[in-house]
């Protein structure tokens, strides 16, 4: 009985299998043979619109403008040569250029191949009116990245470009494809995966000649998310215009939370234009001097020397020295910038008048190791961690470094030069902004940042490190910085303002015989309750108390006028 049941079961199973094979091979065979031999499935990528970039007040900085592009669908064209000829005539471009683009961009006979973009609306209409004479040619609206403030935001926002081979190899696991447009610098690069969104696509059935048969499925692209910066577009534009193309950098920052209100590197470049001219320029407009450029700080470093000396109890606030315009260390003479001398000077006057001789005395009492220690404590010699690529470390020298790298001993003259920001010491303008903010806020080292939020989500990466520095010592330095502006002989009194009280320090860096020095002007405002700190640096522009001080004053007056009704100011 059991054997009979098994025989019936297997007989039935074989009948069913045979019937299914007959259905597949005999009845449906021609259909599947046609699909496999003549047709296949292709995927057509649809790029997602890129997210916008706004300033802190919601002003559009970078966004997408609809422009027109001309495409051709190879499978729909009988005479490609004739159509290229007609198109070249309408567009006013060379036929050879269109052919080059066709060869470079063609992927499949069913896929629209881009020939040219940035076509005017008038020309797009002319092409549309000629569609009957040019089958396969179509005009499409394509998003064009527009940078609304041109060159003034370029070193923060950056630009986009087509992915290269090395980038593709690194990013392909994250969904990037050939010909994708990606962020190449600045926030466009740092936030690329946020801004680019998620591409859509179509599944297309094509025949054995690659011609489209039908659309099988469609997935809508998802727009990228918007990014909001900490920058104030109005202040950014004002500072950029004040530079008027002079080489240098400027940073204006909230000293309490590290928000960058303005970051300028000059000269700059317009990301709306081709970058070839900028690449060839001797002024290096692609270099972000605010974070990449490293320079001797000159006399602005006297702020660090002052705190190192006070903290180590090498001097007191009322400690004084006599300046006669020069100072001898062994057989070597070290000059003060005032050849006639400053006379008897205490610490606050030394900061106000920028007396070199006072700091030569102070440095020898303090020692190079202590000065190096406090330079590093205040963030020099290391990256700040800002959300921009290419930041430099800068460099803080030490006795150990000189012995190990130069095979030389550290001389007292090295300490004297170190104390006034000369020698091997190198800093970035952003590091100085961070250092000054620590004095302005009473001793907190804050990470600078340019991202405020992504969509409605807070994106600020606020990191605060409380420095082990006595408040009374910082207060002494702050009083000296106020006298830089308010003392009749202060080196920065050109920046005295009737709108806001300013505390500052000037720096003038000698860079070689017969070469104009670099100029620094750094500080904060208001003096009593700082709301903004600043760094203005100009290459080969003379004294820090001249042009840099004037730029800082005008920018600060603009900002405080604009925000006079803001209760937070």
β-sheet bridge partners, residue 42 = 204
CATH 3.40.710.10 assigned to 233-275+285-562: yes
* All structural domains of the chain with their residue ranges: 44-229, 233-275+285-562
Burial class (CB in 10 A: 0-12, 13-18, 19+), 294: middle
Helices (H), 329-470: 347-353, 356-366, 368-377, 399-401, 412-419, 429-440
Averaged pLDDT for residues 127-143: 80
Strands in 248-253's sheet, in edge-to-edge order, are 260-266, 248-253, 532-538, 518-525, 503-509
Higher-confidence residue of 329 and 133: namely 329
d(CA 364, CA 403): 19
Higher-confidence residue of 294 and 205: namely 294
* 132 pLDDT higher than 90: no
- Rounded to 5 degrees, what are φ and ψ at 253? -140, 145
Residue 38 is predicted with a pLDDT of 45
Identify the CA nearest to 359 among candidates 320, 331, 333. Answer: 320
**Mind listing the pLDDT tens digit for each residue in 42-92?**
556 667 789 999 999 999 999 998 778 899 888 888 888 888 998 899 999
- Rounded to 5 degrees, what are φ and ψ at 387? -80, 45
**Mind listing the pLDDT tens digit for each residue in 305-315?**
999 999 999 99
Q: Which CATH number fits domain 44-229: 3.30.70.1560, 3.40.190.100, 3.90.1310.10, 2.60.120.380?
A: 3.90.1310.10
Contacts of 89 (CB under 8 A, 6+ apart): none
Phi-psi region of 10 (alpha: psi -120 to 50; beta: other; left: phi over 0): alpha
Residue 320 is predicted with a pLDDT of 96
Identify the CA nearest to 256 among candidates 521, 436, 430. Answer: 436
Higher-confidence residue of 470 and 459: namely 470
* 24 pLDDT higher than 60: no
Residue 256 is predicted with a pLDDT of 96
**Percentage of the residues of the chain whose pLDDT score is greater than 90:** 66
> From the DSSP assignment, how many helices (H) and strands (E) are in the chain?
20, 23
Residue 17 is predicted with a pLDDT of 66
Which of 77-86, 295-304, 399-408, 502-511 is predicted least confidently? 77-86
Residue 387: pLDDT band by 50, 70, 90 thresholds?
Answer: very high
Residue 37: pLDDT band by 50, 70, 90 thresholds?
Answer: very low
Which of 80-84, 270-274, 473-477, 529-533 is predicted least confidently? 80-84
**Mind listing the pLDDT tens digit for each residue in 193-233?**
999 988 777 666 766 555 566 777 777 878 899 999 999 99
* Contact assessment for residue 278 and residue 285, using Cβ atoms and an 8 Å cutoff: yes
Identify the CA nearest to 250 among candidates 388, 148, 160, 156. Answer: 156
């Amino acid at each position: 009985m059991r054997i009979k049941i098994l025989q019936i079961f297997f007989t039935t199973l074989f009948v069913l299998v045979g019937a299914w094979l007959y259905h597949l091979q005999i009845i449906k065979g021609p259909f599947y043979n046609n699909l496999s031999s003549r047709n296949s499935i292709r995927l057509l990528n649809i790029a997602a619109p890129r997210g916008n970039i706004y300033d802190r007040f919601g002003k559009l900085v970078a966004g997408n403008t609809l422009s027109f592009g001309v495409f051709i669908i190879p499978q729909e064209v009988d005479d490609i040569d004739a159509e290229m000829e007609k198109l070249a005539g309408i567009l006013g471009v060379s036929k050879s250029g269109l052919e080059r683009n066709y060869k470079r961009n063609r992927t499949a006979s069913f896929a629209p191949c881009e020939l040219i973009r940035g076509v005017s609306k008038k020309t797009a209409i002319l092409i549309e009116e000629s569609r009957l004479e040019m089958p396969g040619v179509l005009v499409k609206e394509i998003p064009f990245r527009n940078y609304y403030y041109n060159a003034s935001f370029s070193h923060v926002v950056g630009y986009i470009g087509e992915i290269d081979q090395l980038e593709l190899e690194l990013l392909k696991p994250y969904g990037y494809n050939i010909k994708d447009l990606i962020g190449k610098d600045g926030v466009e690069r740092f936030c690329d995966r946020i801004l680019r969104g998620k591409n859509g696509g179509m599944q297309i059935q094509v025949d054995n000649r690659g011609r489209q048969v039908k659309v099988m499925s469609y997935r809508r692209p998802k727009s990228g998310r918007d990014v909001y910066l900490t920058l104030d577009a109005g202040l950014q534009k004002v500072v950029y215009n004040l530079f008027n193309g002079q080489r240098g950098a400027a940073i204006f920052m909230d000293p309490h939370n590290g928000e960058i209100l303005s970051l300028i590197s000059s000269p700059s470049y317009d990301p709306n234009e081709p970058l070839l001219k900028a690449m060839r320029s001797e002024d290096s407009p692609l270099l972000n001097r605010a974070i990449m450029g490293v320079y001797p700080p000159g006399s602005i470093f006297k702020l660090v020397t002052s705190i190192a000396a006070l903290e180590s109890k090498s001097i007191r606030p009322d400690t004084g020295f006599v300046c006669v315009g020069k100072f001898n260390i062994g057989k070597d003479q070290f000059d003060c910038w005032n050849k006639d001398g400053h006379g008897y000077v205490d610490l606050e006057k030394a900061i106000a008048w920028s007396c070199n001789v006072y700091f030569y005395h102070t440095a020898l009492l303090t020692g190079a190791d202590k000065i190096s220690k406090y330079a590093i404590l205040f963030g020099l010699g290391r990256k700040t961690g800002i959300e921009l690529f290419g930041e430099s470390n800068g460099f803080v020298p030490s006795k150990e470094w000189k012995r190990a790298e130069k095979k030389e001993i550290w001389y007292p003259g090295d300490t004297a030069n170190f104390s006034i920001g000369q020698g091997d010491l190198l800093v970035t303008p952003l590091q100085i902004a961070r250092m000054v903010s620590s004095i302005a806020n009473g001793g907190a080292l804050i990470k600078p940042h340019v991202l405020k939020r992504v969509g409605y989500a807070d994106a600020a990466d606020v990191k605060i490190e409380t420095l082990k520095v006595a408040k009374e010592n910082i207060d002494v330095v702050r009083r000296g910085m106020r006298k830089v502006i308010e003392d009749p002989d202060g080196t920065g009194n050109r920046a005295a303002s009737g709108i806001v009280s300013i505390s500052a320090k000037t720096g003038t860096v000698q860079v070689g015989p017969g070469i104009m020095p670099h100029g620094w002007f750094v500080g904060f405002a208001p003096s009593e309750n700082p709301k903004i700190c600043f760094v203005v640096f100009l290459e080969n522009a003379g004294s820090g108390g001249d042009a840099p001080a004037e730029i800082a004053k005008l920018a600060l007056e603009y900002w405080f006028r604009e925000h006079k009704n803001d209760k937070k100011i």
